[in-house]
Structure 1
């Protein structure tokens, strides 16, 4: 095989001493002269190895670039996974951050001593801690049993070992007012087997809040003393006013002691006995007077045998002759000027 030699010849139209670009002319030949270009063969000088510009250097550069790209891709994947994990489980992210913080503190030589284990998540508490119900809690884990809202340092109520916020505790467990049905948050009044706000326990008739005198109950409703007595207490048989304190019971009704007197003379019944006529009490005298059973002779009530004559009634012993006072026992008498006479006296006094 004949080697191909390329000669670079200056263009004939250009001076060898001129500067600037020049054109070249390619001459193809298969003739090889015996002599070399140089007058003598020079020994190659020993020079240091040039920087790698070969295919190996390019391969090394390419491999380094690929490793860098792989590292960047891995970092992006890790960041994406952490973002997804944080988005899906914030609690896990927070735990991871707290764990990392604890590790960083330990790396710095600061001992992060746990403050107990959270009663909710059972994990160590390294930061803020809430002590309640005899246990320790992460602040974000100490929540209301009902609404699950964080209680934190706010007041809370305990029931059966569980914590409740004020709103839910009163809604679930506080007694309710029998008038407005709302939970009773502060003072509670108990009456008639029910609970009340003190300002809501008042008279059903006049609306006044009860004072020291208390209340009276009728048909499951409370009344003040005045209205209860006016509306429901028995009325006195004498004055028809309510009987408030002491009373007498007689003739199927009640009476003020001062009202239970004779209907005519208004005298009290000191002996304890009275006579009833037309729903009114009377003493014996006025009872018989109203009934017409007083003796016309003595003016006293007739309680036994009675003699009726001349439109009057008499005790038998008081039906006598007006002149001789002899008892007209047989019922035979003569009358003159509304007086009774025996037959002999009448004949003497009023001869024909």
Structure 2
């Protein structure tokens, strides 16, 4: 029979329980006094008759491994560490978890959270103020009083729309008479030519390309039979008894002398200078 003594106090260990530590036998009193882990809660040694529960270098008796809030056992349960304390999920949420700025309920561990303008929301609380549907990770537009509007609702109810096709203007267009148009929708009233970035004329609040405006509305010169029009600049012309002439075309129909600033006569429907009129 082999005989051995405690490596610490030399007490004979024959027939007794002991702990073999680093290949050296140690009696139970010496082990608990010198080597056993101390419990974080009761500060007593965790002897060989007790289960040693550990977390990040700290140790507890199984009976001492409790939630710091409700004092329920955390053995074989999920827990959350906060500073030096350990908490069951419910106590942690109630004591430390952030709260939704809409419903004031806590964000439980692992729960999805949305943040906007310094506020935090549950998925079901981060909603469109118009349709009440969750916005999630989709685009939205902030409105007055902190309201948020999802893009479908914004486009339907608030977005600027084209005066011609009534579709939403997603980027820069053309403004005419306080109405907005897509560039491809701003067309000549006469021929549907696109008018964006080109000169155009207006008549009765309708836009026209130069050709259509001249063709439809311009006065015709009595002499050259061409339209009297000067889009974008003043055009000099002479009007008399419902008839019009370009300034350069207002000449005596006999001698072709300019009549601008001169007296003239109308003889047999012809405009002539006084000298030619005497001979008619």
Which band: TM-score by shorter chain?
0.5 to 0.7
Q: Tell me the equivalent position of 2:43.
A: 122
Offset at 1:331? 5.7
Change (3 A) 1:278 1:139: farther
Q: Tell me the equivalent position of 2:24.
A: none
Unpaired segments of 5 or more residues in structure 2?
A: 1-12, 19-27
The alignment status of 1:274 with 2:200, answered yes or no, reads yes
Q: Tell me the equivalent position of 2:4.
A: none
Offset at 1:238? 4.4
Deviations 1:120-170 (A, max 9, x none): 221112212221242111223222233333323211101223211101212
Separation of aligned partners in 2, 1:123 and 1:212: 52
2:228 aligned counterpart, secondary structure:
coil
Separation of aligned partners in 2, 1:335 and 1:211: 85
Separation of aligned partners in 2, 1:280 and 1:269: 12
The alignment status of 1:341 with 2:271, answered yes or no, reads yes
Separation of aligned partners in 1, 2:278 and 2:165: 54
Change (3 A) 1:240 1:280: farther
Counterpart of 1:217 (choices 142, 147, 150) is: 142
Counterpart of 1:230 (choices 156, 166, 174) is: 156
Q: Tell me the equivalent position of 2:9.
A: none
Separation of aligned partners in 1, 2:130 and 2:147: 9
Larger radius of gyration: 1
Higher relative contact order (CA 8 A, sep 6+): 2
Q: Tell me the equivalent position of 1:308.
A: 239
Offset at 1:230? 2.5
Residues 320 and 340, structure 1, Cα contact 8 Å, conserved in 2: no
Task: Number of aligned residue pairs: give it.
Answer: 239
The alignment status of 1:260 with 2:192, answered yes or no, reads no
Offset at 1:317? 1.9
More helix by share: 1
Change (3 A) 1:257 1:196: same
Q: Tell me the equivalent position of 1:62.
A: none
Offset at 1:262? 3.0
1:226 aligned counterpart, secondary structure:
helix
Q: Tell me the equivalent position of 1:192.
A: 116
Separation of aligned partners in 2, 1:200 and 1:346: 96
Residues 202 and 222, structure 1, Cα contact 8 Å, conserved in 2: yes
Counterpart of 1:110 (choices 9, 12, 17) is: 17
Separation of aligned partners in 2, 1:251 and 1:207: 36
Deviations 1:67-98 (A, max 9, x none): xxxxxxxxxxxxxxxxxxxxxxxxxxxxxxxx
Offset at 1:228? 1.0
Change (3 A) 1:306 1:177: same
User: What are the within-5 Å matches in structure 2 for residues 60-75 of structure 1?
Assistant: none
1:230 aligned counterpart, secondary structure:
helix
Separation of aligned partners in 2, 1:130 and 1:118: 9
More strand by share: 2
Residues 321 and 327, structure 1, Cα contact 8 Å, conserved in 2: yes
Q: Tell me the equivalent position of 2:67.
A: 144
User: What are the within-5 Å matches in structure 2 for residues 91-102 of structure 1?
Assistant: none
Unpaired segments of 5 or more residues in structure 1?
A: 1-105
Question: RMSD across aligned C-alpha pairs, in angstroms?
Answer: 3.7
After TM superposition, the score normalised by the length of structure 2 is: 0.66
Counterpart of 1:173 (choices 90, 96, 99) is: 96
After TM superposition, the score normalised by the length of structure 1 is: 0.55
